[in-house]
Amino acid sequence: MESEKNCLNVVVVGSGTMGTALSHVISSAGHACTLLTKDDLVAGTVNASHRHPAFFKGLTIHANVKASTAFEACIPDADMLIMAVPSDDMRHVARQMEPLANAHQSVLSVTKGFEPETHKLMSQVLQEELRTEHIGVLSGPNITLDLVKNLPTKLMVSSASQQMRDHGKRTFSSHTVKILVSEDIRSFEYVSALKNIVAIEVGIVTGLGLGDNFRALVLAEGMAEIRKLMKKMGLRAKAFHGLAGLSDIFLTCSSHFAKNYEIGLQLGRGATLAEQLEALESSGEVAEGLESLKAGRSLARQVAYTAPLLEAAYAFVYQKADMKSGTDNFLSAALGDADDTY
């Protein structure tokens, strides 16, 4: 386990953009890092040339990152397991790992989404499938290309476990990455997942051509809806104003690499959902906000909270609202005067 030199043995499960970028960050911070993948080509290319065969063209991954397909050889001795797999695959992967993992390991989810159908958070899925109590989540602005370029950012590790918070801070901290910690895992994880809804909303109205003023309005009103929903759910809304919320929302509504915003943008321009899902699958990427839209709508109804923008986005994405009715729905949701005093 942990060495006398304070070096952690970290295993990143999942070789997509996030898993690969975080393995680079972890090795850059001086820890032993193994990138676990089911893809022989990824393992071979990372080990031979320190590059990913599909992502980050022209950039190298830290030379100390070791890629492997041998789950049974790597997982048992890890101090920390980082789960970088899509929300719809988290339970399956965790269940496969369970015989290899142990109760002393820290397990960190970096997936900002909900499990399909159950709408459970990733930490809840991991708690149900793994024996450890040291479970946490990563929040904040973490566009992967910037991480691989060693550009500066600050992130949040939240967990009820002191061990997890300590491991999380040590694992990522470097001269370019600073880590904050919190015990309030529930509030920060909900913020990280629900904020993707706002990115889709802003993307849609941008694609509809409703202008920068309206785009900014939807950003503000969408944020207000999520904040009020969190309060209705008994969560700490203050979490919404920091790294996991405001900072990450700005990022997901402005970066060309933000998949949730891009999906909304293309749908607003007339693309079909089926086309967008096919494009995501072919590129090996995921837009967690599509499931967050379903989960957010379900959560709002459970606590009897009316969220007009969320309903407008849901109708546009999943109920096949045409351009005119979709535009009218967003106009009504954002310009309505039900709450017009401050």
301, 202: one domain: yes
26, 154: one domain: yes
21, 127: one domain: yes
115: domain range? 9-183
148, 125: one domain: yes
168 part of a folded domain: yes
155, 229: one domain: no
172, 212: one domain: no
Per residue in 237-262, pLDDT tens? 788 788 777 888 888 887 777 889 99
340 part of a folded domain: no
pLDDT of 243 reads 79
Give the confidence band of 279 by pLDDT, cuts at 50, 70, 90: confident
Q: How far apart are CA 205 and CA 219, in angstroms?
A: 10
Per residue in 48-102, pLDDT tens? 999 999 999 999 999 999 999 999 999 999 999 999 999 999 999 999 999 999 9
204, 179: one domain: no
Q: How far apart are CA 62 and CA 59, in angstroms?
A: 10
pLDDT of 5 reads 53
pLDDT of 259 reads 87
Are 22 and 12 within 8 A, CB to CB? yes
Tokens of 226: 């999520």
Torsion sign, CA atoms 210, 212, 214, 218: positive
70, 204: one domain: no
**CATH number of the structural domain spanning residue 300:** 1.10.1040.10
Q: What torsion do the CA atoms of 134, 135, 140, 145 make, to the nearest 10 degrees?
A: 100
To the nearest whole number, what is the mean pLDDT of the chain?
Answer: 92
318, 265: one domain: yes
Per residue in 17-31, pLDDT tens? 999 999 999 999 999
Per residue in 110-135, pLDDT tens? 999 999 999 999 999 999 999 999 99
Are 323 and 208 within 8 A, CB to CB? yes
Q: How far apart are CA 259 and CA 267, in angstroms?
A: 12
Overall domain count for the chain? 2
167 part of a folded domain: yes
Q: Which of 159, 183, 207 is the last residue of a domain?
A: 183
214, 169: one domain: no
Q: Which of 183, 205, 222 is the last residue of a domain?
A: 183
Per residue in 135-192, pLDDT tens? 999 999 999 999 999 999 999 999 999 999 999 999 999 999 999 999 999 999 999 9
156, 20: one domain: yes
Q: Which of 128, 156, 183 is the last residue of a domain?
A: 183
**CATH number of the structural domain spanning residue 178:** 3.40.50.720
Asked if the model's pLDDT at residue 335 lies above 90, the reply is yes
The C-alpha R_g of the chain, in whole angstroms, comes to 20
Give the confidence band of 282 by pLDDT, cuts at 50, 70, 90: confident
pLDDT of 238 reads 80
60 part of a folded domain: yes
Asked if the model's pLDDT at residue 45 lies above 50, the reply is yes
